[in-house]
Amino acid sequence: MNLEVLDKSDAPQASRDLLEKAEKNYGFIPNILGVMANSPALLEAYMSLSQIFEKTDFSAAEKQTVLLAVSTENECDYCKSAHTAIGKMQGVDDAVLKAIASGDKLPDDKLDVLFNFTRTMVEKRGHPSADDLQTFFDAGYSEAQVQDVIVGIGMKTMSNYNNHIADTPVDEQFKG
């Protein structure tokens, strides 16, 4: 099923300011936000949670690793493409992005632990084992960062599920 990708001219009034803000931030309105604009509540929730996730102590590479881990586990092609492109823009090591895409061990041990912990959290629906948590902590992550992973999971789950329903087309800016 395809949901309509809206723009500022045909979106509900409550979504228009948010789309304008997105356009200023990105230089265009990503299709994911155009689809979410059908529901001003979803669009606002996603954009708000995205801003909150940006405030975590994770580095750019760690943030993209969390978001790609969720999108990989939830099989969201749109988000995998978008966050791979965003990761490249933010200077995330190509070898890390390639390993995530291919399902290989990440070349950075700490990022590999983060990637696998995030996937475990999604797969086990928030019930990691004591060993899963200990591995995360042993890699140098904190208790707060366990909870920050949950913020990233919440954010990406909203978009992943919406993209599954909408069959959101990948923007040209995120292809390749």
DSSP state of 174: G
The band of 2, judged by pLDDT with boundaries at 50, 70 and 90, is: confident
Domains of the chain, earliest start first? 13-54 (no CATH), 60-166 (1.20.1290.10)
DSSP string, 8-66: TTTS-HHHHHHHHHHHHHHSS--HHHHHHTTSHHHHHHHHHHHHHHHTSS--HHHHHHH
Q: Could you report the per-residue pLDDT of 22-70, keeping only the tens digit for each?
A: 999 999 999 999 999 999 999 999 999 999 999 999 999 999 999 999 9
Q: Could you give the percent of the chain with pLDDT greater than 90?
A: 97
Count the residues in the chain: 176
Q: For residue 112, what are the contacts with CB-CB under 8 A and spacing of at least 6?
A: 105, 106
| For residues 89-118, average pLDDT | 96
Query: What is the model's pLDDT at position 40?
Result: 98
Q: Could you report the per-residue pLDDT of 125-152, keeping only the tens digit for each?
A: 999 999 999 999 999 999 999 999 999 9
Q: Could you report the per-residue pLDDT of 5-21, keeping only the tens digit for each?
A: 999 999 999 999 999 99
Average pLDDT, the chain: 96
DSSP string, 79-116: HHHHHHHHHHHTT--HHHHHHHHHTPPPSSHHHHHHHH
The band of 173, judged by pLDDT with boundaries at 50, 70 and 90, is: very high
Instruction: Tell whether the model's pLDDT for residue 1 goes beyond 70.
Output: no
